[in-house]
A and B are shown apart, each in its own frame.
Chain A
């Protein structure tokens, strides 16, 4: 297990960011989740990431499905428009929203039940279409909201709180995302804010489908011995391949690392991802190698975390469709409605 020095942050709560917003300007309603729920830590990380990136809160659209995890968009970015959709269908709604206005930043939050069980299809298709969004799955291996049934990411052999052993194979969302063409794929842990915050920042700046599988223990239903999604289990088996710093255009974050172990990836928007290698030979720009490595480490019982894959020059759905650079929702009558002359031509062709 690897421990890393935390970045030095100067009382962020009280320091205005580049837009003059305080950290609390990125907060939302008070959470109603169980005390200690991993999802709350992820909300805090999202707040931190948006604050550090100087995002105008109202330019973020936050969407979710249904579940404890999907409730969380109410608990961060209170000035952003949010949409708590239906169970398992956040990806399609986000796809449509993104088509309507390509200028907003789309943050989809979902659960493992929401995205791997009922919504597996929509997850897969949003990724393969290349919707420009950050897609966070708050993965606790159970349905929290319906009181602890196994979800599709539950590992085979893991034990429920009531002692039932799961006999079904687990769906590995990171593996799927890589296979389906996500151009940014990460795994992290709600209990490791130092790792998670930069990953969310990098994902938000990534101009393509960015997926973060975030292990997020459910203290109520899946934090016992025999569970593979408990705090203890994840801490013990967590193997980070790298540590990330996001150097957004303005203010690099200082961290002390041993020299010679850092590689930089410049994203399309100019942000630089400084990756500090923790695992020898791991190259996060090599998708095939990443898939092989993950398969191997998983077989060895490790939970590999970090930035697992990034394509610094991704395409997205708008690129594929050749849509106008302007938001479709802003086009005027003159641009959309062809008028009688065009209709006359069409009429003439129908006689």
Chain B
């Protein structure tokens, strides 16, 4: 018999529920209670593409050490969904715990003998207390939270406080929730002992906040000065536009006139969304859309127009599992190449690659400066994992002295003073021309914007040399972009090494945990977190100074590795793909095991003995 797991502030609880049963708010209350006790948590929703009836899971990693990636494995399963019982029970680690509703007896064959089974008669408790069906369903969730609190050492007062905040001013509701909470707690107190898994008050959270990436990005768009948002609903991006909407209503309504300093349109499709964004960008407003892969596919013709006619636009691509409709409610980083080169002809677009909701906020705001400065489409590449899960991040900060960078815009005064205006004229050698806002001057600064080739003064031209000059200038502009986008973050190993890893986006937390584990094993890996495309000179230096680099990604085709090879001459022999793409968030366990195997199996190319030519 395996000994029951024993751990304090370091375990994983997974809730198996039925979609639409009201469990989401109870589960998130559970997670928040642990946070309020000063113990960090990392939570992940795993949900189907439907509204009601299908299985959903909610994973809570309790981690005083602050590992915010998904750990993998389940120490305690809260099995509230009979449909998924068998696989849920199978997923529990040996020695782990199974919590279930024991109202109806279960045959012994439905359990395992290497786990501890904790049966609480939730339905029976519920039915004794409530008669209305909806009440029975909702309060059952609170009852199990009370029971779990008792089993795991979560302070009831903390949960009561959360309930009181949630239902502020609705005393009857608060009391009803308290009662349900106590029913669960008391039943466990009277019938059971606490489990080997325990939450103990700590001081490891600090003033950090718990926020979803989409919410943070929506707020970042407010701080970035976006005034026009056009969007079309698609999972997992919808909540970004919704967050922008509600933050605008809170922060952007003129107190005197009651009028909106923003305009949000739910468009008829993604083509219209990006069309509106480009129209607004052309006309001097900061504008964005939020979408996911299928939406980007539809937008590509317009993205090429933005590139060639040089019109600022910001696209948030909250990536999900592709291709096609793919796994719409699962996470991936599989739109990188699609976004980087979106549209026909020779095009490339800057992409920002935030790691967590904190960077979703800052990069969202920065994207508008970059789009204005570079006069092109800037992608902000989130993914479902960071977009739709609450992550623990440092409180959001804003530099009060910062002002919007509207880029090179020629003013009425400059035009009036006779300054030469050529819309596509490279006056500063950085590839970035001046633009004017429509309507600025009665006789100067007007020009005809088009997707066809034209000369530096915006006159139509099919001349080969004029075309070539112009597209070469666009390449110069792309070079300039390298100096403006967020630089990569380098984490050196504790000792000098010729081996490294490159990673980006939501892989960040799992990779940080993995790096600690590698150090513990005595494996030295320098780590570079790439935060933007095009890749800046630091990336070139990293490529040049390492013999073998593991490129860790959440897609099948090693898309970032391809970009490193195509754009920065990365050597395919030295760039080793480490790929996780089953739709679940990557884990430190996966990274460590994949890289360890490869490190043990082969030497880096630099020191590899020459293979004999057998051909």
For A331, the closest partner residue in chain B by CB is B261
Q: Is the CB of B400 within 8 A of A323?
A: no
For B285, the closest partner residue in chain A by CB is A100
Do A322 and B265 contact each other (CB < 8 Å), given the known contacts A89-B302, A337-B223?
A: no
Q: Is the CB of B282 within 8 A of A97?
A: yes
Q: Is A217 an interface residue (CB 8 A)?
A: no
Whole-angstrom distance between the alpha carbons of A101 and B280 in the complex? 8
For B228, the closest partner residue in chain A by CB is A99
Q: Is the CB of B225 within 8 A of A337?
A: yes
Whole-angstrom distance between the alpha carbons of A119 and B415 in the complex? 37
For B35, the closest partner residue in chain A by CB is A351
A interface majority secondary structure:
helix
Q: Is A79 an interface residue (CB 8 A)?
A: yes
Q: Is the CB of A324 within 8 A of B260?
A: yes
Nearest-Cβ distance from residue B106 to partner chain A, whole angstroms: 39
Q: Is A6 an interface residue (CB 8 A)?
A: no
Do A328 and B451 contact each other (CB < 8 Å), given the known contacts A57-B442, A339-B400, A346-B396?
A: no
Nearest-Cβ distance from residue A162 to partner chain B, whole angstroms: 29
Residues in chain B near residue A350, CB distance under 8 A: 209-211
* Interface 9-residue window, one of A80-88, A134-142, A264-272, A285-293: A80-88
Q: Is the CB of B277 within 8 A of A89?
A: no
Whole-angstrom distance between the alpha carbons of A110 and B285 in the complex? 24
Name the contact of B284 in the complex, choosing from A80, A101, A351 (C-beta under 8 A).
A101
Whole-angstrom distance between the alpha carbons of A268 and B116 in the complex? 77
Nearest-Cβ distance from residue A92 to partner chain B, whole angstroms: 3
Whole-angstrom distance between the alpha carbons of A25 and B553 in the complex? 58
Do A324 and B254 contact each other (CB < 8 Å), given the known contacts A83-B449, A93-B276, A100-B280?
A: yes
Residues in chain B near residue A100, CB distance under 8 A: 227-228, 279-285, 287
Whole-angstrom distance between the alpha carbons of A103 and B366 in the complex? 28
Q: Is the CB of B227 within 8 A of A93?
A: no
Residues in chain B near residue A58, CB distance under 8 A: 438-443, 446
Do A122 and B446 contact each other (CB < 8 Å), given the known contacts A84-B452, A101-B283, A325-B259?
A: no
Residues in chain A near residue B230, CB distance under 8 A: 92, 95-96
Nearest-Cβ distance from residue A89 to partner chain B, whole angstroms: 5
Q: Is B479 an interface residue (CB 8 A)?
A: no
Name the contact of B279 in the complex, choosing from A92, A330, A336 (C-beta under 8 A).
A92
For A318, the closest partner residue in chain B by CB is B263
Whole-angstrom distance between the alpha carbons of A350 and B36 in the complex? 11
For A84, the closest partner residue in chain B by CB is B450
Nearest-Cβ distance from residue A136 to partner chain B, whole angstroms: 17
Q: Is A347 an interface residue (CB 8 A)?
A: yes
Q: Is A247 an interface residue (CB 8 A)?
A: no
Residues in chain A near residue B35, CB distance under 8 A: 351
Residues in chain B near residue A74, CB distance under 8 A: 448, 460
Q: Is the CB of B267 within 8 A of A125?
A: yes
Q: Is B271 an interface residue (CB 8 A)?
A: yes
Q: Is A146 an interface residue (CB 8 A)?
A: no
Whole-angstrom distance between the alpha carbons of A83 and B305 in the complex? 11
Nearest-Cβ distance from residue B404 to partner chain A, whole angstroms: 6
Do A94 and B260 contact each other (CB < 8 Å), given the known contacts A89-B302, A350-B210?
A: no
Residues in chain A near residue B281, CB distance under 8 A: 96, 100
Q: Is the CB of A79 within 8 A of B452?
A: no
Residues in chain A near residue B283, CB distance under 8 A: 61, 96-97, 100-101, 104, 329
Q: Is the CB of A329 within 8 A of B227?
A: yes
Q: Is the CB of A322 within 8 A of B439?
A: no
A333-351 contact mask (Cβ, 8 Å, vs B): 1 or 0 = 1011111101110110011
Residues in chain A near residue B436, CB distance under 8 A: 81
Interface residues of A in 293-351 (CB under 8 A from B): 317-318, 321-325, 328-331, 333, 335-340, 342-344, 346-347, 350-351
Whole-angstrom distance between the alpha carbons of A331 and B437 in the complex? 14
Q: Is the CB of B438 within 8 A of A95?
A: no
Q: Is the CB of B301 within 8 A of A86?
A: yes
For B442, the closest partner residue in chain A by CB is A58
Q: Is B251 an interface residue (CB 8 A)?
A: yes
Name the contact of A86 in the complex, choosing from B222, B268, B302, B404 (C-beta under 8 A).
B302
Q: Is the CB of A95 within 8 A of B227?
A: no
Nearest-Cβ distance from residue B479 to partner chain A, whole angstroms: 27
For B259, the closest partner residue in chain A by CB is A324
Q: Is B471 an interface residue (CB 8 A)?
A: no
Q: Is A73 an interface residue (CB 8 A)?
A: yes
Q: Is A237 an interface residue (CB 8 A)?
A: no
Q: Is the CB of B223 within 8 A of A96?
A: no
Q: Is the CB of B278 within 8 A of A96?
A: yes
Residues in chain A near residue B438, CB distance under 8 A: 58, 61, 80-81, 97, 101, 104
Residues in chain A near residue B260, CB distance under 8 A: 321-324
Q: Is the CB of B268 within 8 A of A121?
A: yes
Q: Is A16 an interface residue (CB 8 A)?
A: no
Residues in chain A near residue B110, CB distance under 8 A: none
Name the contact of B261 in the complex, choosing from A121, A324, A339, A346 (C-beta under 8 A).
A324
Q: Is A181 an interface residue (CB 8 A)?
A: no
Q: Is the CB of A343 within 8 A of B227?
A: no
For B283, the closest partner residue in chain A by CB is A100
Nearest-Cβ distance from residue B92 to partner chain A, whole angstroms: 31
Q: Is the CB of A79 within 8 A of B442?
A: yes
Interface residues of B in 207-240 (CB under 8 A from A): 207-211, 219, 222-223, 225, 227-228, 230
Q: Is the CB of B272 within 8 A of A125?
A: yes
Nearest 7 Cβ contacts at the A-B interface: A96-B279, A92-B275, A100-B285, A96-B276, A81-B438, A329-B284, A93-B279
Q: A56-B442, A97-B280, A335-B261 are in contact. List 8 more A-B contacts (CB 8 A).
A: A58-B440, A81-B446, A93-B275, A101-B283, A101-B438, A324-B260, A329-B437, A342-B251
Q: List 15 A-B contacts (CB under 8 A).
A: A80-B438, A83-B448, A86-B301, A93-B275, A99-B279, A125-B267, A323-B259, A323-B260, A323-B262, A324-B257, A328-B262, A337-B402, A338-B252, A340-B398, A340-B400
